[in-house]
Amino acid sequence: MVYDPATNYTLYFAGEDLGVYLNQTWTFLGGTFTELSPSRAPPTAQYMTATFDLADGYVLAFGGAIKSHLSGQTWAWSRPLPLTLSASDSASSTTVGTTERFSATAWGGVAPLAVGWQFGDNSSAPGGDTQHTYSWPGNYTANCTASDATGTRTTQSFTILVTWGAGTPIIVTPSASPTSGPATLTVTFVGAATGGFPGYVPTWSYGDGSPPASGWNETHPYTRTGSFTATLSVTDRAGRSGSATTSITVTAPPPPPAPLTLSVSGSPTGGSAPLTVTFSSTTHGGTPGYTYAWTFGDGGASATSNATYTYLSAGSFTATLTVRDSSSHATSRSVMVNVTGSSAPPGGAPGFLGLPGDEGVLLLGGLVAVVVVVAAVAVFLLRRRPPATPQAYPEASYPGTTPSYPPASAYPRTPYPYSGGYPPQQP
């Protein structure tokens, strides 16, 4: 046991208790012993001598018997120094946006030690040396706190005045697109700002009497003709403002386009299959930028203004062209096409006398006509032949009951004209 005048403690340590060697240190103050946990303590021993070294702040324990033999050793128990903190800031006043340095050093106490800063604006930082920037003016209290392993704490505080300061000018940059055109002209505005103290509030004024807008990017329609000045005003967190303008020119709207008209034609519009037809079209009026859509009536289609199409089968077909302009106005016109059956033999076989279909048919028809004419002429000639002259023949006489006839030489032999009929009978 020894007395520590620096702390007014009476230290009691080592000794033997019921055969159990102790290695504890106790303080006695006002009749109460409190157990300590020194960083270094003497071993449990009997008959140990202790004293306090005031110059070095040590309690010396030496001699004594350890486990029934003489120790002959000297031990030093050092009392921990008080937890001490030294902190500072770089300035007691600063401006918004300026970075300030803070530093602190702690020693004594029971290791490990911890140091941290609270800056008074709901922000903090660990460690002794750090930096901080205040973003709003005001009076702030920065606290630096050090603590040791036993929970002992010590704090130093600093009052810091933060003002806006001079700052930098606010530079406002507005832009618009398009800046000119016919009414109604819809303009897109885009704004930006630098300088001052960020945290800007933008306001657009369009110069045409319409209500202002409060966004960076806005769209506005100008319905009247004239020249207008659009203004972008920006206010920063310090209440300082800046502005810039851009000009808009609105002209009279163009006259409405002429009605959309369309004419179509096809050539040929009739014939035998396969029939190839060339379709043509002419478009006027509307808003240029036309699109075309042909339908040919048999499932075929085309997307050109002029088209060539072949019909393979017979029938009546309606070819229709629909034209649409860039304003979505549309109109349609149609052409009728009549297709007859093919005159060629199936499979493309040659016609009469080996000639192609149309030529063979024409030749055959011509031959039939010639035959009919020849037959008609023959019939006509036969009907106009004169009748034959009757010949006189001697009559037979019948004397008594036995007839008698003239001799054969009595009958003349007259040639009978032959005109293509049967030959005359001889008597």
Contact call for residues 165 and 98 (beta carbons, < 8 A): yes
Q: Is 41 helix (H, G, I), strand (E, B) or coil?
A: coil
Q: How far is CA 258 from CA 44, 138, 283, 285, in A?
A: 117, 70, 11, 5
Residues 6+ apart with CB under 8 A from 28: 1, 9, 10, 11, 12
pLDDT in tens, 190-224: 999 999 888 999 999 999 999 999 999 999 999 99
pLDDT at 341: 87
pLDDT in tens, 250-279: 999 988 889 999 999 999 999 999 999 999
**What pairing do the DSSP bridges indicate for beta strands 330-340 and 270-272?**
parallel
pLDDT at 40: 46
Closest to 297 (Cα-Cα) out of 288, 309, 286: 309
Residue ranges of alpha helices (H) inside 52-182 are none
Average pLDDT over residues 297-326: 95
pLDDT at 39: 41
Higher per-residue confidence, 310 vs 45? 310
DSSP3 helix / strand / coil % (the chain, rounded to 5) = 10, 45, 45
HSE-up of residue 63 (Cα within 13 Å, Cβ side): 5
% of the chain at pLDDT higher than 90: 53
Query: Any idea of the CA torsion for 159, 165, 167, 169, to the nearest 10 degrees?
Result: 150
Kindly indicate the confidence band of residue 166, based on its pLDDT and cuts at 50, 70 and 90.
confident
**Lateral strand order in the sheet of 241-251:** 180-182, 241-251, 226-235, 201-205
171-251 and 261-340 share one CATH topology?
yes
Q: Which CATH class is domain 171-251?
A: mainly beta
Both tokens of 129, joined, read 């040396």
CA distance 285 to 281: 14
Average pLDDT over residues 10-18: 52
Residue matched to tokens 């020894």: 2
Closest to 180 (Cα-Cα) out of 227, 220, 224, 219: 227
pLDDT in tens, 100-113: 999 999 998 888 99
Kindly indicate the confidence band of residue 347, based on its pLDDT and cuts at 50, 70 and 90.
very low
% of the chain at pLDDT higher than 70: 65
- The mean predicted confidence, pLDDT, of the chain is 79
Q: Domain ranges in the chain?
A: 2-78, 84-163, 171-251, 261-340
Whole-model pTM over 0.75: no
CATH topology of domain 261-340: Immunoglobulin-like (2.60.40)
Q: Which residues pair with 14 in a beta bridge?
A: none
Average pLDDT over residues 173-200: 95
**What pairing do the DSSP bridges indicate for beta strands 275-284 and 261-267?**
antiparallel
Contact call for residues 271 and 253 (beta carbons, < 8 A): no
CATH topology of domain 84-163: Immunoglobulin-like (2.60.40)
pLDDT at 13: 55
